[in-house]
């Protein structure tokens, strides 16, 4: 649990409220107490609200509406529509049955803190991806697509846009994997068939490695992308072509990004001596670039 949380305890059993407040305060949190919902809604600046639904004659809806941005956990003596179902439907996060251990309460608070952080992060990522792909005018047709699907594109954003949009349309959790990662194969093997796997950098795999990869993908949902032309005819292949090349997309790559792109996409085509010469750097510098970008050179 994060330190210095501001917690409001709404409980008419004063001894219980004081006991909870003492234990949470010992953990570094700031606790305030009140015995009625009327007093509670005078302020809404709390991270967590612990609401007892056993206070007779109290309307909990104004409290839940007031603290809708807080983590509201119901403290209940018995489970019924009035004490649990209705408050949860109104916006409370969870409930805990009295008497309870403070460790269980903390576990619930931790869970919903993590959930809220992930939700905000996902919203930010979704907005970023939408913005990032807005320059791509290609409209994707997801009807009658058979997986695994292979995408051949010299411009990575085209393949990325397709994969992320497909996962969103199909409401599938997405796993992003680059084959330049030495742990890629073991990670692919561990992913369940109910997720979509998006695999990039297929161009760095040799024929034998691809065969092992395809065996792992059996009964899994996967989209694979390559900057080279894909000639594995037994699979569904989409070739995405742009009217402009990668350096004519309304953006100028920084030198470091250019070097990373060239090393990642052409190291399997040229020996290090020739690749470093084309980049205008030494072989030692090429090795340092690989180390910096965590690029694994396939034997």
Instruction: Name the β-bridge partners of 6.
Output: 30
Q: What is the pLDDT of residues 173-219, one digit of tens each?
A: 999 999 999 999 999 999 988 899 999 999 999 889 999 999 999 88
What is the reported pLDDT for 2?
A: 63
| Most confident stretch, 27-36, 233-242, 259-268 | 27-36
Q: Which has more pLDDT, 59 or 2?
A: 59
What is the reported pLDDT for 231?
A: 75
> Is the predicted pLDDT of residue 236 greater than 60, yes or no?
yes
| Most confident stretch, 66-70, 229-233, 239-243 | 66-70
CATH fit for domain 149-239, picks 3.40.50.300, 3.30.43.10, 1.10.1040.10, 3.20.20.70: 3.40.50.300
Give start and end residues of each alpha helix (H) in the chain.
Answer: 14-26, 37-40, 61-66, 86-90, 102-132, 156-169, 184-190, 207-216, 255-266, 272-279, 283-293
Q: What is the pLDDT of residues 4-28, one digit of tens each?
A: 889 999 999 999 999 999 999 998 9
Average pLDDT score over the chain: 86
What is the reported pLDDT for 298?
A: 60
Residue 41, classified by CB atoms within 10 Å of its CB into exposed (0-12), middle (13-18) or buried (19+), is: middle
What is the reported pLDDT for 252?
A: 61
What is the reported pLDDT for 101?
A: 92
Q: Which has more pLDDT, 48 or 138?
A: 48
Cβ partners under 8 Å of residue 105, min gap 6: 20, 50, 73, 96
> Is the predicted pLDDT of residue 248 greater than 50, yes or no?
no
Res. 90 pLDDT band, cuts 50 70 90: very high
Give start and end residues of each alpha helix (H) in 170-254.
Answer: 184-190, 207-216
> Is the predicted pLDDT of residue 292 greater than 90, yes or no?
no
Domains of the chain by residue range: 6-123, 149-239, 255-293
pTM: 0.67
CATH number of 6-123: 3.40.50.2300
């Amino acid at each position: 649990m994060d330190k210095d949380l501001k917690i409001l305890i709404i409980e008419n059993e004063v001894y219980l409220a004081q006991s909870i407040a003492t234990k949470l305060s010992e953990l570094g949190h700031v606790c305030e107490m009140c015995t009625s919902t009327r007093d509670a809604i005078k302020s809404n600046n709390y991270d967590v609200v612990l609401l007892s639904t056993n206070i007779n004659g109290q309307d909990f809806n104004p409290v839940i509406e007031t603290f809708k941005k807080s983590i509201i956990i119901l403290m209940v003596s018995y489970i019924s529509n009035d004490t649990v179902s209705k408050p949860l439907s109104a916006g409370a996060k969870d409930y805990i049955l009295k008497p309870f251990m403070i460790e269980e309460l903390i576990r619930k608070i931790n869970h919903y803190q993590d959930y809220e952080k992930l939700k905000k992060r996902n919203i930010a990522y979704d907005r970023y991806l939408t913005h990032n792909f807005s320059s791509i005018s290609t409209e994707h047709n997801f009807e009658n697509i058979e997986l695994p699907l292979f995408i051949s594109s010299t411009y990575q954003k085209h393949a990325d846009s397709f994969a992320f949009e497909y996962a969103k349309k199909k409401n599938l959790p997405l796993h992003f994997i680059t084959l330049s990662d030495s742990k890629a194969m073991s990670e692919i093997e561990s992913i369940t068939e109910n997720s979509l796997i998006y695999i990039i950098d297929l161009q760095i795999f040799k024929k034998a490695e691809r065969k092992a990869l395809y065996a792992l993908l059996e009964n899994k949902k996967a989209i694979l992308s390559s900057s080279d032309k894909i000639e594995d005819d037994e699979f569904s292949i989409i070739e995405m072509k742009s009217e402009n090349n990668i350096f004519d997309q309304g953006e100028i790559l920084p030198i470091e990004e250019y070097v990373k792109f060239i090393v990642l996409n052409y190291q399997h085509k040229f020996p290090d001596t020739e690749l470093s010469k084309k980049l205008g750097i030494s072989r030692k510098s090429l090795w340092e670039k690989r180390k910096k970008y965590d690029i694994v050179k396939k034997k």
